[in-house]
Amino acid sequence: MTTPLFLLRCVQIGLHVSELDLLTIGTVNDMYAEMSNDDWDYPEIATQEMMDRF
């Protein structure tokens, strides 16, 4: 990953420059991946009963 791409991802996530001291590159990548999953329509969402059985 290049520096410009990393900074672009930070902007897309909504991170401030001062927050970058607290985060690793891996954390930013994970946050970006999770942001991409926000629009996914899951066919089934677990209920509390399902979690209890798990």
pLDDT tens per residue across span 30-43: 999 999 888 888 88
What pLDDT is recorded for position 40?
82
Asked whether the beta carbons of 23 and 15 are under 8 A apart, the reply is yes
Amino acid letter, residue 43? P
Domain boundaries, the chain: 1-34
Q: What is the pLDDT, as a whole number, of residue 14?
A: 94
Q: For residue range 1-54, list pLDDT tens digits in order.
A: 899 999 999 999 999 989 999 999 999 999 999 998 888 888 888 999 999 999
pTM of this structure: 0.67
